[in-house]
Amino acid sequence: MTALPESAESPLVVLGKIVSVHGIRGAVKVYSHTDPLDNVLDYRTWTLRRGSELRTVSVTSGRLQGRVVVATLKGVSDRDQALEMVDFEICVPRSALPNLEEGEYYWHQLEGLQVITVDGQLLGRVDHLLETGSNDVMVVKPCDGSLDKRERLLPYLPGQYVLDIDLNAGVMQVDWDPEF
For 48-73, write each residue's pLDDT tens digit.
999 999 999 999 999 999 999 999 99
Q: Where along the chain do its domains lie?
A: 12-95, 111-174
Contact (Cβ atoms closer than 8 angstroms) between residue 18 and residue 87 = yes
Give the angle subtended at the CA of 82 by the CAs of 40 and 47, to the nearest 5°.
40
Please tell me the pTM assigned to this model. 0.75
CATH class of the domain defined by 111-174: mainly beta
Output phi, psi for 77, to 5 deg: -120, 0
**Which one is predicted more confidently, 179 or 21?**
21
**Which one is predicted more confidently, 83 or 132?**
83
Tell whether the model's pLDDT for residue 2 goes beyond 60.
no
Taking all residues of the chain, what is their mean pLDDT, rounded to a whole number? 92
Element (H, E) at 109: helix 107-110
pLDDT for 132: 85
Q: Is cis: bond before 36, omega within 30 of 0? A: yes
CATH number of 12-95: 2.40.30.60
Closest CA to 140 of 103, 169, 174, 168: 174
